[in-house]
């Protein structure tokens, strides 16, 4: 009995200590780093000060550096919803979905090594909108200027223009990687409507689909100094038999500066040739 | 009696900590883990030949010499991006200096499932016993 108690105590203490060490390591500041090698990003980002419960913020001011937050599951923040809420696809939507081969498994599709997939970003093609919104690995700087909200995405250095001057959506827009966006305020909710997509881009890293006919709507709210909440909606009858409305997603304000994260084909090709492809048995001769 | 109790305690503590540490997978985006098997990590002693601090994932290249003097050229994929590494204090100049050619390393990798001398890097330790880069920061 006593031995069991000692074992349990020791194991419990060791697990707590390991968790403590892990937490410390995760939060480890980079204060010892003083040589930034001439790069422009400067010192390691400072942490934001704690929020004062009485701290005021302007719910109509989205300017600043933000990052989509991840949740408990792998798909949180990275997909519209979990798989159980994906609307039934049309025949066209299903054909396109099944043609997309990726390293991410889904309930209706087997995953393959990334080297054997056909995700267009693996060769530096644009992520586009909406996919950039589902890339939790990068930040985005929002700028509010007269008549426009600009979103600068760290990933691929993409710029998105959201027209806030009251204009209408174009009647017959050309397809664009980023779509054509207009925004308006409904109370404290920023509503963004986007049409005119290039449907060669994937919705997310699982290869989910949208067509060039999609109407994509975002409803953003700033709920405190450091938090944006957003719900996305897809209306795309060419791809889905009913609208697809996302879970509520959270974006968190970030300290520091946006960093360059361009996809350089020469770097991507080198990585593919030397590492990603041979790791999967794909040999270049 | 007491010493035996301590031995028993350590016999449980060490596996518990080891399991905890080894169960922290190195996450990488795009499903990279399909290419590598982190459940069967291998640890190698090698000498750095090159290091690329570049997107989409930094890469280490190192040589491993066996007892017969045969040299195998290995490559390792660093799951965190340069952006994520820099957020944890491992900027380009610091990382490149720590892994410059000729540096002796002990490296733990999740090996390629295809059998190539390539792996996803789980841990790198230098001759002083210092851990290089932060492999816990790879979730994308």
The CA angle B66-B72-B73, to the nearest 5 degrees, is 145
Q: Quick check: A60 contacting B, CB < 8 Å? A: no
Residue B23 pLDDT: 40
The model's pTM:
0.80
Do B93 and A35 count as a contact with CB atoms less than 8 A apart? yes
Q: Quick check: A119 contacting B, CB < 8 Å? A: yes
Residue A72 pLDDT: 74
Residue-wise pLDDT tens digits, B36-48: 999 999 999 999 9
Do B29 and A137 count as a contact with CB atoms less than 8 A apart? yes
Closest Cβ–Cβ partner in B5, B17, B114 for A279: B114
Least confident of A70-74, A76-80, A118-122, A162-166: A70-74
Q: Quick check: A122 contacting B, CB < 8 Å? A: yes
Rounded distance, CA A153 to CA A135, Å? Answer: 10
pLDDT band at residue A208 using 50, 70 and 90 as cut-offs? very high
Q: Quick check: A70 contacting B, CB < 8 Å? A: yes
Do A263 and B140 count as a contact with CB atoms less than 8 A apart? no
Residue-wise pLDDT tens digits, A33-65: 334 443 434 455 567 888 887 888 999 999 999
Flag whether pLDDT at A235 surpasses 90: yes
Chain A residue closest in CA terms to B92: A37
**Partner A, chain B 43-62, Cβ-Cβ below 8 Å:** 52, 54-57, 59, 61
Residue-wise pLDDT tens digits, B3-38: 454 444 444 444 444 433 334 455 555 667 789 999
How close A170 gets to chain B, by Cα (Å)? 35
Boundaries of every domain in chain B: 2-137
B3-32 core/surface letters (b: 16 or more CB in 10 A; e: else): eeeeeebeeebeebbeebeeeebbbbbbbb
The answer to whether the CB of A264 falls within 8 A of the CB of A124 is: yes
Task: Reply yes or no: is the peptide bond before residue A192 cis, omega within 30 of 0.
Answer: no
Residue-wise pLDDT tens digits, B93-103: 999 999 999 99
Mean pLDDT to the nearest integer, A245-262 = 92
Rounded distance, CA B75 to CA A278, Å? Answer: 10
Closest Cβ–Cβ partner in B36, B90, B91 for A279: B36
Helix (H) or strand (E) holding A3: helix A2-26
Chain B residue closest in CA terms to A43: B89
The answer to whether the CB of B79 falls within 8 A of the CB of B26 is: yes
Please report the ipTM that was assigned to this predicted complex.
0.79
Residue B26 pLDDT: 55
**Mode of pairing for the β-strands spanning A158-163 and A180-186:** parallel
Residue A7 pLDDT: 55
Superfamily of domain B2-137: Nucleic acid-binding proteins (2.40.50.140)
Closest Cβ–Cβ partner in A33, A259, A263 for B89: A33
Which is higher by pLDDT, A249 or B7?
Answer: A249
Closest Cβ–Cβ partner in A3, A30, A264 for B55: A264
How close A125 gets to chain B, by Cα (Å)? 13
Closest Cβ–Cβ partner in A32, A45, A137 for B81: A137
Both tokens of A108, joined, read 């209706």
Do B30 and A102 count as a contact with CB atoms less than 8 A apart? yes
- Which residue, among B55, B121, B80, B84, has the nearest Cα to A123 in the 3D structure? B55
Flag whether pLDDT at A27 surpasses 50: no
How close A131 gets to chain B, by Cα (Å)? 13
């Amino acid at each position: 009995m006593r031995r069991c108690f000692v074992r349990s105590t020791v194991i419990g203490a060791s697990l707590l200590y390991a968790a403590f060490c892990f937490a410390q390591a995760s939060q480890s500041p980079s204060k010892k780093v003083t040589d930034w090698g001439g790069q422009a990003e400067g010192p390691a980002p400072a942490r934001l000060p704690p929020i004062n419960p009485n701290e005021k913020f302007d719910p109509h001011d989205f300017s600043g550096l933000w990052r989509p937050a991840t949740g408990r599951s792998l798909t949180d923040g990275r997909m519209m919803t979990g798989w159980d809420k994906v609307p039934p696809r049309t025949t066209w939507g299903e054909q396109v979905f099944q043609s997309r081969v990726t390293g991410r498994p889904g309930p209706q599709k087997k995953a393959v090594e990334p080297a054997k997939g056909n995700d267009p970003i693996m060769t530096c093609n644009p992520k586009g909108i909406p996919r950039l919104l589902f890339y939790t690995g990068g930040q985005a700087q929002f700028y509010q200027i007269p008549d426009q909200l600009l979103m600068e995405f760290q990933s691929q250095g993409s710029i998105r223009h959201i027209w806030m001057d009251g204009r209408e959506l174009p009647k017959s827009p050309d397809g664009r990687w980023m779509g054509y966006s207009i925004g308006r305020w409904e109370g404290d909710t920023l509503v963004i409507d986007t049409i005119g997509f290039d449907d060669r881009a994937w919705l997310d890293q699982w290869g989910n689909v949208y067509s060039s006919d999609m109407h994509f709507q975002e409803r953003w709210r700033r709920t405190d100094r450091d938090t944006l909440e957003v719900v996305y909606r897809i209306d795309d009858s060419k791809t889905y038999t009913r609208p697809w409305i996302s879970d509520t997603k959270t974006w968190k304000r970030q300290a520091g500066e946006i960093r360059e994260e361009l996809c350089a084909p020469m770097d991507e090709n080198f990585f593919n040739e030397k590492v990603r492809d041979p790791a999967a048995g794909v040999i270049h001769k | 009696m007491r010493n035996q109790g301590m031995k028993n305690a350590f016999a449980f503590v060490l596996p518990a900590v080891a399991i905890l540490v080894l169960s922290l997978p190195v996450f990488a985006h795009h499903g990279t883990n399909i290419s590598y098997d982190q459940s069967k990590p291998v640890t190698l002693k090698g000498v750095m030949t090159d290091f690329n601090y570049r997107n989409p994932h930094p890469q280490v290249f190192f040589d491993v010499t066996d007892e017969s003097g045969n040299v195998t050229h290995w490559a390792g994929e660093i799951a965190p991006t340069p952006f994520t590494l820099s957020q944890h204090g491992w900027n380009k100049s610091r990382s490149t200096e720590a892994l410059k050619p000729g540096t002796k390393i002990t490296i733990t990798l999740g090996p390629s499932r295809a059998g190539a001398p390539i792996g996803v890097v789980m841990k790198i330790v230098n001759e002083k016993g210092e851990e290089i880069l932060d492999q816990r920061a790879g979730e994308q």
